Amino acid sequence: MSLSRLLQEISDTEILELTHSALGRMTVIRQIFPLWRDSSTRCMRRNHRISSLLCDPQEGYMQNLEVSNLYLYDSVLMLANAFYRKLEDRKWHSMASLNCIRKSTKPWNGGWSMLETIQKGNITGLTGMMDFKDSGINSHVQFEILGSSFSETFGKDIKRVSSQRLKTQRTVKRR
């Protein structure tokens, strides 16, 4: 029995090619974004506009984006949302402490406060709902397990075996 791990982002086409070229059975675990499989998705999400290329199911552009790009977009959106909430609450630290030109290694005083604001917030982005709550993880992350099969009629194929939500606990604590 051979066990190999491929820890990179691959497309549906690449998964099918791997399945057909594999000598034995193959199991794939990958993150899924069920929100985007819904054809009724609109190009507007909670006051931010999403490019029509991303939300048009006929276009297919969304399926070609790597997961890291989706998370990068959502991370910027989450950070912008946190800055907005900080400014709205008027509980903001001096902007002088955000000076990036200084050559000092003094940490920014508002860092822990910003982290707490991010953890208490939630957004609906390209990857779906991001909501960290008390555990420090996003409980809305979903995975699917794909398994290869072989039949006399259809040859080698891959099908979904299961779909699961992330169920781990992790807490970010202050030092």
Neighbouring CB atoms inside 10 A of 51's CB total: 11
The residue type of 110 is: G
pTM for the predicted model, two decimal places: 0.57
Report percent pLDDT > 70 for the chain: 53
User: What was the pLDDT predicted at 53?
Assistant: 55
Spatial neighbors of 157 by CB under 8 A, at least 6 apart, are: 19, 148, 149, 150, 151
User: DSSP string of the chain?
Assistant: -------S---HHHHHHHHHH-SS--EEEEEE-GGGG-TT--SEETTEE--HHHH-TTT-HHHHS-HHHHHHHHHHHHHHHHHHHHHHHT----GGGG-SSS---PPPTTHHHHHHHHHH-EEEETTEEEE-TTTTS-TT-EEEEEEEEEETTTEEEEEEEEEEE----------
Q: Model confidence at 173, in pLDDT bands (50, 70, 90)?
A: very low
With bands split at pLDDT 50, 70 and 90, how would you rate the model's confidence at 38? Answer: very low
Q: What is the pLDDT of residues 106-131, one digit of tens each?
A: 666 777 788 888 888 888 887 778 88
The Cα 140–Cα 133 span in angstroms is 11
Residue 144, pLDDT above cutoff 70: yes
| Residue 8 pLDDT level (bands cut at 50, 70, 90) | low
Residue predicted with more confidence, 49 or 73: 73
pLDDT at 84: 85
Q: What residue has token string 């779906």? A: 128
Residue 40's pLDDT band (cuts 50, 70, 90) = very low
Which distant-in-sequence residues (6+ apart) come within 8 Å of 112 by Cβ?
174
